[in-house]
Chains A and B, each alone.
Chain A
Amino acid sequence: MRELAEHIEEKLDLVEKAISLSTDKGAEYAEARLQLNLSKEMLLQNGQLLPPNITMNFGMGIRVLLNGILGFSSTTNLDEKSISEAVNSACKSAMVSSALTSEKIKFGKERSHRDSIVIFGSRPFDDIDDSEKINFMSEIDKTILSSASKEIKVVNRMVEYTEHWVFKAVGNSDGSLIKTYLTRAELRSFSAFNYNGYLEQDLFQRGITGGWNDLEEINFIEKLHDRTSSLCKVIMHGKSPPSGSIDVVMGGEVVGIAVHESCGHPYEADRILGREAAQAGESFMRREYLGERISCEEVNVIDDPTFEKSFGFYLYDDECVKARPRYLIKNGIVNEFLHNRHTANVFDTESNAAARAALFSREPIIRMSTTFIAPGEHTLDELLENVRRGILIETFGEWNIDDRRFNMRIVGREAYMIRNGKIVHPVKRPVIEVTSLAFYKSIDAVGKNLVFMSGHCGKGDPAQIVPVWFGGPYIRLRRVRLGGV
Chain B
Amino acid sequence: MAYEELAYIMLSYLGQKNVDEAVVIINEKTTRQIRFSNNVIMLHAIYNEVTVDVMFIKDNRMMVSSFNVADPKIVKKGIDNLIYLHAKVKPLEKYRPLPDKIGKYPEVSGGFDKSIVEVDPERLVDYIDVCIGSALEHGARRVAGTLYCSYWKKHLTATNGVSVNDCGTHINLDVRAFVKKRQTGHYFTCARRLSDFRPGKAGREAGIISSMSDEVIKGKPGKYRVLLGKSAIGSLMNMFAYAISAFSVLSGQSFLKEKIGETVGPEILNVSDKPLSEGYLGARKFDDDGIPVSNHVLIENGMLKTYVHNRVTAAQFDTETTAHAGWITPMPWHLEISSGEHSDEELLEEVRDGLFVNNVTYIRFHNYIKGDFSAIVRDGVYAIEDGEIVGRVKGLRMDSNLLEILKNVRAIGKDSEQIFHWWMEFNVPVTAPKIVVDDVGFSVATM
Residues of A participating in the B interface, judged by any CB pair closer than 8 Å: 4, 7, 38, 40, 45, 48-59, 69-78, 86, 89-90, 92-94, 96-97, 99-103, 105, 130-131, 134, 155-156, 158, 192, 199-201, 273-279, 282, 284, 359, 361, 363, 397-404, 407, 409, 411, 429, 431, 433-435, 438, 442, 461-463, 480-485
Contact = CB atoms under 8 A, between A and B. Distances in A.
Contacts of A77: 48, 50, 70
Contacts of B48: 73-77, 86
A97 B41 contact: yes
B446 A274 contact: no
A275 B42 contact: yes
Nearest to A98: B41
27 contacts: A49-B89, A54-B81, A55-B67, A56-B66, A56-B69, A69-B42, A71-B44, A72-B44, A77-B70, A93-B46, A93-B121, A96-B44, A97-B34, A100-B40, A103-B38, A130-B84, A156-B253, A277-B38, A277-B178, A401-B376, A411-B374, A431-B443, A463-B422, A481-B446, A483-B443, A483-B445, A484-B399
A279 B175 CA distance: 9
B259 interface: no
B181 interface: yes
A162 to B, nearest CB: 14
A75 B35 CA distance: 20
Interface centre among A48, A97, A403, A480 (most CB of B within 10 A): A97
Please indicate which of the listed interface residues A38, A56, A77, A94 has the most CB atoms of chain B within 10 Å of its own CB: A56
Contacts of B350: none
A70 B36 CA distance: 11
Nearest to B222: A485
A475 to B, nearest CB: 16
B64 A53 contact: yes
A4 B67 CA distance: 14
B310 interface: no
A278 B367 contact: no
A282 B121 CA distance: 28
B49 interface: yes
B17 interface: no
Interface string B20-58: 000000000000111111101111111111100000000
A158 B46 contact: no
B438 to A, nearest CB: 15
A56 B43 contact: no
B35 A278 contact: yes
A193 B292 CA distance: 39
B400 to A, nearest CB: 8
Contact of A131 (B44, B88, B146): B88
B62 A51 contact: yes
B120 to A, nearest CB: 8
Contacts of A70: 42-44
Most chain A CB within 10 A, of B44, B176, B252, B446, is at B44
**Interface of chain A: mostly helix, strand, loop or mixed:** mixed
B74 interface: yes
Interface of B: 32-38, 40-50, 61-71, 74-75, 78, 81-82, 84-85, 88-90, 121-122, 125, 128-129, 142, 144-146, 174-176, 178, 181-182, 221-223, 251-253, 327-328, 361-370, 373-376, 378, 395, 397, 399, 422-423, 441-447
A71 B365 contact: no
Contact of A76 (B70, B88, B397): B70
Contacts of B36: 100, 278
B388 to A, nearest CB: 26
Contacts of A156: 251-253
Nearest to A77: B70
Contact of B376 (A397, A402, A438): A402
Given A282-B181, A361-B49, A48 B69 contact: no
A50 B86 CA distance: 10
B61 A461 contact: no
A54 B89 contact: no
Contacts of B146: 278-279, 461
Contacts of B63: 51-52
A51 B61 contact: yes
Contacts of A484: 221, 399, 443
Contacts of B34: 97
A158 B45 contact: no
A397 B68 contact: no
Contacts of B65: 53-56
B46 A89 contact: yes
A72 B447 contact: no
Contact of B37 (A57, A277, A462): A277
A359 B221 CA distance: 42
A105 B69 contact: no
B3 to A, nearest CB: 12
A423 B129 CA distance: 61
B71 A100 contact: no
A216 to B, nearest CB: 20
A381 to B, nearest CB: 27
Contacts of A134: 88
Contacts of A485: 221-223, 399, 441-443
Given A58-B68, A96-B121, A97-B41, 11 more contacts: A51-B63, A53-B66, A56-B69, A58-B71, A100-B36, A274-B37, A279-B146, A279-B423, A400-B363, A400-B397, A434-B447
A275 B175 CA distance: 13
State the 9 A-B residue pairs at the shortest beta-carbon distance, nearest first.
Answer: A156-B252, A398-B366, A481-B446, A93-B44, A277-B144, A72-B45, A278-B144, A400-B362, A57-B68
Contact of A278 (B69, B74, B176): B176
A114 to B, nearest CB: 27
Given A45-B251, A52-B63, A483-B444, A277 B176 contact: yes
A74 B49 contact: yes
Nearest to A342: B42
A192 B367 CA distance: 9
Nearest to B178: A277
B186 to A, nearest CB: 9
Contacts of A462: 33, 47
Contacts of B71: 7, 58, 78
Given A398-B364, A433-B444, A434-B447, A274 B144 contact: yes
Contact of A363 (B43, B84, B361): B43
Contacts of A49: 88-90
A93 B45 contact: yes
A403 to B, nearest CB: 6
A461 B421 CA distance: 11
B181 A404 contact: yes
Contacts of B221: 483-485
A277 B395 CA distance: 19
Contacts of A48: 90
Choose among B33, B50, B375, B447 the residue with the greatest number of A CB atoms under 10 Å from its CB: B447
Contacts of B182: 404
Given A51-B61, A69-B44, A433-B443, A99 B144 contact: no
A411 B142 CA distance: 34
